């Protein structure tokens, strides 16, 4: 099995790959793969866009190895998407390839070729969760923990429920002037029906 990674699509998915330069972002993705091995013991190839500003440059790609991982950079006007599709189409065993991307255009283009499709979240989170369980460092965005506040508010709410209800005059006055909007709308609707 070989995992074919849409490099920049994966990088844009999670803040953990953010950096000032594209090279640093690529390095963070490669370091993540080397550290957490989300592809298991399978072969991995990462494809990146490297569009040239020169429209006369030949369309194709360059294959290199970065930190031991096979990496492909598209050339000329050819995009990484085109390289991924060509890679699958030209494979003798496309059913042994899993394409990792969230790009629906790529999924459509390789649809009948036999390659498997995997969403980026599944590749990052589900595949790497065994190695990251204690720290869970690969969350897309770190959420604040409001559990202590929630418990405190819950305790106050429950405490208020146990207290005898006291209605002050101001609240009673407001209750008399309030009306039930649902009932009002229901009455209007019934009148229109007649």
Domains of the chain with CATH codes: 2-132 (3.40.50), 147-193 (no CATH)
State the DSSP H helix or E strand holding residue 98, giving kind and residue range, or none if neither: strand 97-100
- Specify the pTM: 0.64
What pLDDT is attached to residue 80?
94
What pLDDT is attached to residue 112?
87
* 116-118, strands of its sheet edge to edge: 60-66, 69-75, 43-48, 2-6, 97-100, 116-118
What is the pLDDT tens value at each position of the chain, 194 positions in all? 999 999 999 999 999 999 999 999 999 999 999 998 899 889 999 999 986 666 566 667 888 888 889 999 998 888 999 999 999 999 999 999 999 999 999 999 998 889 999 999 999 986 666 555 555 444 444 445 555 656 666 666 666 555 555 555 555 555 554 545 555 555 555 555 55
**CA-based torsion, 45, 48, 54, 60: positive or negative:** positive
Residue 71: Cβ-neighbour burial (10 angstroms; 0-12, 13-18, 19+):
buried
């Amino acid at each position: 099995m070989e995992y074919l990674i849409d490099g920049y699509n994966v990088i844009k998915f999670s803040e953990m790959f953010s950096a000032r330069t594209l090279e640093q972002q690529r390095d963070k993705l490669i370091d993540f793969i080397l550290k957490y091995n989300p592809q298991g013991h399978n072969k991995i190839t990462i494809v990146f866009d490297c569009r040239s500003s020169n429209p006369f440059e030949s369309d194709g790609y360059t294959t290199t190895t970065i930190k031991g991982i096979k990496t492909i950079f598209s050339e000329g006007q050819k995009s990484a998407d085109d390289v991924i599709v060509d890679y699958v189409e030209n494979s003798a065993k496309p059913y042994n390839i899993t394409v990792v991307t969230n790009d629906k255009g790529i999924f459509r283009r390789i649809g009948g070729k036999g390659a498997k499709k995997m969403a980026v979240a599944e590749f990052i989170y589900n595949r790497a969760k065994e190695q990251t369980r204690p720290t869970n460092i690969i969350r897309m965005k770190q959420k604040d923990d409001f559990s202590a506040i929630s418990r405190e508010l819950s305790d106050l709410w429950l405490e208020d429920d146990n207290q005898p209800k006291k209605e002050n005059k101001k609240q009673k006055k407001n209750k008399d002037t309030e009306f039930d909007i649902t009932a009002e709308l229901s009455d209007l609707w019934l009148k229109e029906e007649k």
